A and B are shown apart, each in its own frame.
Chain A
Amino acid sequence: MADILVYIEHDESGISDLSLQALALSRQLGGGEALLLGRGLAPLAETLLKHGAAAVLAVEQSALAEHVALPAAHALAAVIRSRSPRLVLVPSSTVGNDLAPLAAGLLEAACVVDCDGVEGEAGAWRFLRTEFDARVRAVYEPVGVGPVLVTVKDGIAEAGAVASTGRVEALTVELPAQALRGSVERREVVKKTVNLKDARVIIGGGAGVGSRENFALLEGLAEKLGGELGATRASVDAGWVSAERQIGQTGVTVRPDLYIACGISGAVQHLVGIRDAKTVVAINSDASAPIFRVSHYRIVGDLTTVVPKLMELLG
């Protein structure tokens, strides 16, 4: 029996890359079993064995056919109870950060979310998390016995193929009636058309952009520079841009050569997402906006005049 259990997130397009990263981390820490919930899991289990899973636990039940947090958390908790792993790794995604705390609550177990590092000897692991605008690395240490559920951030380890002699084990779990009453009524899936992670140039818009029309202006600048449009959580929640463009703590982390921040005040939650941008240009009418402290070029002005001017100069 392995000390580590890795929760594998998957959808129609297969296993998420972050799940494979979590599996790679489990290998570095001594090897882990991968847990699959759903239907038609055989091909996915094969993939996991090719990525070095010590074993694959497959729970094929119709109640788990589609991911729903409530039954999935009960299933995860049941597997943790029966296998008694000391560490449970879960991808830090909307799904994972939803699931791990709920399962931890069911088990009254320890939970740490958004970890970007693990240190210490087997069984005495400590979990690292970058906090406060990347100025502090907090070290979390579980207290007492019992499992620790940890969600891990993108970049935690490099996913890679490694042969394993492990086997696939079919499991069934008992789900309480209450758990089965959770369901997804309907999904409105937006086809992914944006690739912010690999974009060299990103024009980011924040609350200061003020309207959907002004966002069109930024889109124009992005087109001229061959870049992508990005956004803060505020402007996504305002409905000016789609959620797939969100950069920051929730949303993606980007590494462009050039980031032009328009109407972005510079809240910590956004800044962590653009930390690795090589050059930052900020346009903001508020001279005291915190974004200017991380900007290489500071333009204090109204973006509705500055952006068209820049476009004109770009020809």
Chain B
Amino acid sequence: MAKHIIVVAREVWDTRDIIGDPLTGEGALRALPRRFEPEDLNSLEQALQLKDKDGCKVTVVSLAPAGDLDVLRECLYRGADEAVRVVAPEGSTDSATAAALLAAAIRRLGEHDLVLLGVGVPEGENSLLAGELAGRLGHGQITYVDSITELSDTRVVCRREIEMGSEFVAAPLPAVLALGVYLLKDDPRTPRAAKAMLKLKLKKAPIPEWTASELGVCDATRVRVAALRALPTRQVETRDVDPGSEAALKAMLQDIR
């Protein structure tokens, strides 16, 4: 039975549909809308479901500058007990720095059983941050987690998807779990909505902010982006095919076969 679960929540660029040139044009990264990393939201829901069942404490930690979309407050509205913001350093942050800062913050949050976060990040479906975090914390790690099938005082067992099927992996506690489930609307694991009552109550609740120097982290950068090179965009000539016209469909089938 878990007593304290920590969720890492990230605010990310919404890259589902990039229009324009991400380097310079109107679709520049800065102009992309930001959103709550959906898989982190799933992780929060998983933590809240364990809280519903066992009454454990859920703390959310986020590494971010204060943005328009306040993921931490959103977590409190959905039922998290506490939230902490780790102030992101100026400029871009590599995964090693993010892991060092989050690991320091997680240590400062005290004893815990699980650290949950999503597999997905805007630029890849990999568990880079989860791994670096688990390594630095010396925790157990399971990535691409589909579901938690067993949780005791000493270990956790998860079902995870792999290329050749699925496997059930056990890890000692505390453990970092990277959840990798892309949920559709009607899935029972779909994140709950924010509660109006909590919104009223917690709208002005203070959220502590911890800086790198407070956390004792300096010079953690291991990789930097030396350059971004534009690649030629695909030019596709699109032909409209009327689904109601048999002749049009027939002509298309002839072309493509």
A residues lining the B interface (CB < 8 Å): 11, 68-70, 73, 77, 93-95, 97-114, 126, 130-144, 146, 148, 151, 178, 181-190, 192, 207, 225, 233-234, 236-238, 243-244, 249-250, 258, 265-269, 275, 279-281, 283, 290, 292-302, 305-306, 309-310, 313-314
* Cβ contacts under 8 Å, B155 to chain A: 181
Q: Are B131 and A98 in contact (CB under 8 A)?
A: yes
Q: Are B243 and A305 in contact (CB under 8 A)?
A: yes
* Cβ contacts under 8 Å, A94 to chain B: 144, 161-163
* Cβ contacts under 8 Å, B56 to chain A: none
A77 to chain B, nearest CB (A): 8
Within 8 A of A (CB), among B123-155: 123-138, 140-144, 155
Give the distance in Å from the alpha carbon of A234 to the alpha carbon of B34 in the complex: 21
* Cβ contacts under 8 Å, A142 to chain B: 222-223
Within 8 Å by CB of B128, from A77, A101, A309, lies: A101
B97 to chain A, nearest CB (A): 10
Q: A138-B228, A141-B226 are in contact. List 18 more A-B contacts (CB 8 A).
A: A98-B141, A105-B99, A105-B133, A108-B222, A110-B96, A113-B124, A131-B123, A133-B18, A139-B229, A143-B94, A182-B170, A183-B169, A184-B170, A233-B182, A244-B164, A265-B16, A293-B238, A310-B253
Within 8 A of A (CB), among B1-57: 15-18, 21-23
Within 8 Å by CB of A70, from B171, B243, B244, lies: B171
A155 to chain B, nearest CB (A): 16
Q: Are B17 and A266 in contact (CB under 8 A)?
A: yes
In the complex, residue of chain B having the shortest beta-carbon distance to the beta carbon of A305: B243
Say whether B69 faces chain A, with CB atoms less than 8 Å apart.
Answer: no
Q: Are B135 and A98 in contact (CB under 8 A)?
A: no
| Chain A interface main SS type | mixed
Q: Are A101 and B131 in contact (CB under 8 A)?
A: yes
Q: Are A143 and B223 in contact (CB under 8 A)?
A: yes
Within 8 Å by CB of A114, from B126, B237, B246, lies: B126
Give the distance in Å from the alpha carbon of A192 to the alpha carbon of B224 in the complex: 39
What are 9 residue pairs bridging A and B, where the CB atoms are less than 8 Å apart in the complex?
A: A106-B135, A132-B22, A139-B226, A143-B223, A178-B140, A184-B169, A244-B164, A268-B15, A281-B241
Within 8 Å by CB of B231, from A100, A130, A186, lies: A130
* Cβ contacts under 8 Å, B18 to chain A: 132-133, 135, 268
- Contacts A182-B171, A301-B243 known; A249 to B125 CB distance under 8 Å? yes
| Chain B interface main SS type | mixed
B78 to chain A, nearest CB (A): 21
Q: Are A189 and B164 in contact (CB under 8 A)?
A: yes
Give the distance in Å from the alpha carbon of A243 to the alpha carbon of B146 in the complex: 12
Within 8 Å by CB of B243, from A107, A186, A258, A300, lies: A300
Q: Are B140 and A181 in contact (CB under 8 A)?
A: yes
Q: Are B136 and A105 in contact (CB under 8 A)?
A: yes
A35 to chain B, nearest CB (A): 18
In the complex, residue of chain A having the shortest beta-carbon distance to the beta carbon of B129: A101
Give the distance in Å from the alpha carbon of A92 to the alpha carbon of B164 in the complex: 15
Q: Are A188 and B166 in contact (CB under 8 A)?
A: yes
Say whether B183 faces chain A, with CB atoms less than 8 Å apart.
Answer: yes
Give the distance in Å from the alpha carbon of A243 to the alpha carbon of B182 in the complex: 13
* Cβ contacts under 8 Å, B167 to chain A: 184-188
Give the distance in Å from the alpha carbon of A148 to the alpha carbon of B221 in the complex: 12
In the complex, residue of chain B having the shortest beta-carbon distance to the beta carbon of A140: B223
B165 to chain A, nearest CB (A): 4
Give the distance in Å from the alpha carbon of A11 to the alpha carbon of B162 in the complex: 13
A271 to chain B, nearest CB (A): 9
Say whether B197 faces chain A, with CB atoms less than 8 Å apart.
Answer: no
Q: Are A294 and B253 in contact (CB under 8 A)?
A: no
Give the distance in Å from the alpha carbon of A268 to the alpha carbon of B31 in the complex: 17
B154 to chain A, nearest CB (A): 8
Binary contact track B113-126/A, C-beta < 8 Å → 1, others 0: 00000000001111
- Contacts A295-B236, A296-B237, A310-B253 known; A182 to B243 CB distance under 8 Å? no
* Cβ contacts under 8 Å, A132 to chain B: 15, 18, 22, 123
B32 to chain A, nearest CB (A): 9
Within 8 Å by CB of A113, from B126, B181, B220, B228, lies: B126
Q: Are B229 and A141 in contact (CB under 8 A)?
A: no
A104 to chain B, nearest CB (A): 6
In the complex, residue of chain A having the shortest beta-carbon distance to the beta carbon of B250: A313
* Cβ contacts under 8 Å, B162 to chain A: 94-95
Q: Are A136 and B231 in contact (CB under 8 A)?
A: yes
In the complex, residue of chain A having the shortest beta-carbon distance to the beta carbon of B123: A131
B222 to chain A, nearest CB (A): 4
Give the distance in Å from the alpha carbon of A134 to the alpha carbon of B234 in the complex: 9
* Cβ contacts under 8 Å, B252 to chain A: 281, 297
